[in-house]
Structure 1
Amino acid sequence: MERSELEALLSSRVLTAVDDEARPETPADVLARSTALRRAGFAPEEAAAILTQAALRRRARVKFGEFADRMLFTRAGLEQATRLDVAARHAARFRDAGIRLVADLGCGIGGDALALAAIGLQVRAVERDEVTAVLAQYNLAPFPEAEVVVADAEQVDLAGVDGAWIDPARRTAGHTDTRRVDAADYSPSLAFVERTAARLPTGVKLSPAHDRADLPEDAEAQWVSDRGEVVELVLWRGGLQREGVRRAALVSGPGGVAELTAAADSADEPVGGLGDHVHEPDGAVIRARLIGDLARATGTRPIGPGIAYLTGDGPSPSPFTTSFAIDAVLPFDKQRIRKELHARGIGRLEIKKRGVDLDPARFRKELALRGDEEAVLLVTRTAGSRVALLCHR
């Protein structure tokens, strides 16, 4: 979004039209709505802004719920924003530590700042991109507890601040097209993060795939999974980390929130024979390397050396796993698998893999599926060989 686009968007007439606009569903709808808006007296750039914001608000409901209907976005800002329910847990960590004024350094469109302010914390939201900062000001307008400062996060005055939240930009600058950058190019830099954590209680949001070799020894590393997707790694430092916790996997979904914690990476359990069920650990548990603790807690065992599937008899009630009942154990042979699927009339097949070189989409086509039944195929390695496990959830 360029400054001229922002200026067109922020007129009261255009903002009212954004609030009234439904998201066009097809290219034909976009054309029809653009024509209708032009006929209503909106300039081309105004019509484009209205339709773009309507589409972004619709997408944003996944992250922000009803709040999305009064917020403004850029495509890149929405993509990088923290989901509101996840941000609410960040905010609670600061509140529970007795922190009153939080500096949100690199606030983007204001997602985390919104969650902090919503529970009554004072927020100094810092954003160096002027267009993004204006959108953050708009999104935070209902919260007098929040102020937006247009500045470089590494240069801003932190006098009076009790704690810091830092979400380094992990993509090139831009409001539309971006690309991922190396950790050395994060903004604010990881060196600045270190300096800040040495003086203030600090939470740092990173990619869940961040190099584990770079994790500070004094940090609590918490991988967060939301509705089945691992969305972030947060490093809690400077008094925000919990005593005795250095690894955590937090899982959130329709059934609520659950967390697995440990003082360090957990040792794996010995590999055992196949039971009648396979259990897939949540990605946050895998990232946190707590599969061994999960196996001991659920009475299960690894299916093969270095394989992140567990097995046992009966389904697992654990919120950290998805369970599959095994219907057939097959050699990893395409012809044998195809014959079994045809005999069972399986026409819809979800394919999962671990520890084998396989393109699931291509393999599915090669199986020439037919029938009305559905199943899950887990292709993996046991202690002895590669196998295909025909399962149902």
Structure 2
Amino acid sequence: MAQEQIAPLLTPQGWELLNSLGPYSEKDALALNSTLRKAGHSPELVSAVLTQSRLRTKAEGKFGEFARQMIFTQTGLEQATRLNVAARHAERFAGAGISHVADLGCGIGADSLAFSSMDIQVTAIELDETTAACATLNLMPFPTATVRQGEATTVDLTGVDGVWLDPARRTTTTSGTTRLFDPEAFSPPLSFVESLAARGLAVGVKMGPGIPHESLPAGCEAQWVSVDGDVVEATLWFNALARPAVSRAALIIGPKGSAELTSPVPYDPLAQDVGTGPAEGYLYEPDGAVIRAGLVADLARSLGGHLLDPHIAYICAGELLDTPFASVYRVLEVKPYNVKALKAWVRANRIGVLDIKKRGMSVTPEELRKQLLTGSGKGPNKATLVLTRIGEDRVAVVVEPVSHRALPRTL
């Protein structure tokens, strides 16, 4: 959203009109536009109000009811930390006794909101003028929060004992935005984060979940975070914010609460001392955060299980356990991967709904599903296939999801 689309909202009339609207509906937007124009509102105000209403409604997935009183840009919303995750960040700073946080690259102010709500003084810095204006409005209820427009790497940190960073991981050109993968290409780069940590400051930085283990700075704690099955970030914690006995962690946040799996040592791909075995008993599909954190072997050991392949994140175990770190399936049958044979199996079992999961195979589940169901008669039954490798063999494992109600105890 351009600066000129924020300005009309900063008047009493604009703010009142925006807050008078209900949830945004795409099918009603044209009619609402016409109604507001006929009521005498300027085209600029109507455009700004409808755009903001749409963003607020979209933002409810990240911010809940708080979104109704916030201001967003499209990019700012996409990059903003979810409120329940930002609260975890704030708890980490508060638990370390941090009293003044510099939020460098604050965006629309999501993390600064969480810090401020825990009575931590915040100095929020944002380079983009429009985004800084949004952060200013969003942080107005908190007198201890200050927003300044400026460059993150040149901020005077005198009096600050904690730093939070959310580096920009995309570059914008005339043809659109491109995701960056090199941590030194981020803005600010990871080396700048390390320089702050070297000064003894309590530093936390939000990174993309795909950051490779070899890019992690020595001595930091790396925590991968999953929300409702979606891996949303990898957070690096330094100095007072790092837990002394944790090198890697997978934090799982879901409807029933949260759980964490940790390791005291950095990831070593050669030290994953878990055996391999057949697809039998129960198949556990680890959460993405567990996989990203390199904790699949740790999870397999805790389940008393084995891997199907040393390079593929599927675990099988004889015992059925309730774990927040994986989805669980009962193994029914193991078949060689053969499209013609699988098509016959689908037809014979009158399968009309087919869920396909895969790891370690260059198969597109959507295309295979269409192949297998075409001409099958659209039967009344449902089935789940897990496509993977066991050694040199490509297999299709027929499984049945295990309901949480059927799980005997929590791991």
Same fold per TM (> 0.5)? yes
Aligned amino acid, residue 100 of structure 1: S
How many pairs align? 391
- Seen in structure 2, the aligned counterparts of structure 1 residues 345 and 15 have a Cα distance that, compared at 3 Å, is farther
1:94-120 CA-partner distances (Å, limit 9, x unpaired):
111111100000000000000111111
Measure, in 1, the Cα distance between the counterparts of 2:272 and 2:245: 17
State the 1:178 CA deviation.
3.2
- Seen in structure 2, the aligned counterparts of structure 1 residues 158 and 215 have a Cα distance that, compared at 3 Å, is same
- Whether contact under 8 Å (2:281, 2:330) holds in the other structure is yes
Measure, in 2, the Cα distance between the counterparts of 1:54 and 1:48: 10
Aligned amino acid, residue 354 of structure 2: L
1:48-104 CA-partner distances (Å, limit 9, x unpaired):
211111111111111111111110101110000000101101111111111110000
- Whether contact under 8 Å (1:269, 1:292) holds in the other structure is yes
Counterpart for residue 366 of structure 1: 371
State the 1:275 CA deviation.
1.7
Measure, in 2, the Cα distance between the counterparts of 1:24 and 1:261: 42
1:300-358 CA-partner distances (Å, limit 9, x unpaired):
11012311000112433111010011232211011111222222222122211101110
* Runs (5+) with no aligned partner, structure 2: 402-411
Measure, in 2, the Cα distance between the counterparts of 1:124 and 1:192: 18
Aligned amino acid, residue 71 of structure 1: M
State the 1:177 CA deviation.
5.3
Counterpart for residue 109 of structure 1: 108
- Whether contact under 8 Å (2:279, 2:397) holds in the other structure is no
Counterpart for residue 89 of structure 1: 88
TM-score, normalised with respect to structure 1: 0.96
Matches for 1:1-393 after TM superposition, within 5 Å? 1-26=1-26, 28-172=27-171, 178-183=177-182, 184-199=184-199, 200-264=201-265, 265=267, 267-367=272-372, 368=374, 370-393=378-401
TM-score, normalised with respect to structure 2: 0.92
Measure, in 1, the Cα distance between the counterparts of 2:76 and 2:172: 10
Counterpart for residue 404 of structure 2: none
- Whether contact under 8 Å (1:196, 1:202) holds in the other structure is yes
Superposition RMSD on alpha carbons, in Å?
1.6
Measure, in 2, the Cα distance between the counterparts of 1:150 and 1:173: 19
Aligned amino acid, residue 256 of structure 2: G
Counterpart for residue 408 of structure 2: none
- Whether contact under 8 Å (2:24, 2:57) holds in the other structure is no
State the 1:374 CA deviation.
2.0
- Whether contact under 8 Å (1:305, 1:382) holds in the other structure is no
Measure, in 2, the Cα distance between the counterparts of 1:24 and 1:111: 22
Q: Aligned with 2:354: secondary structure? A: strand
Identity across matched positions, percent: 46
Q: Aligned with 1:159: secondary structure? A: coil
Q: Aligned with 1:89: secondary structure? A: helix
Runs of 4+ that moved beyond 6 A: none
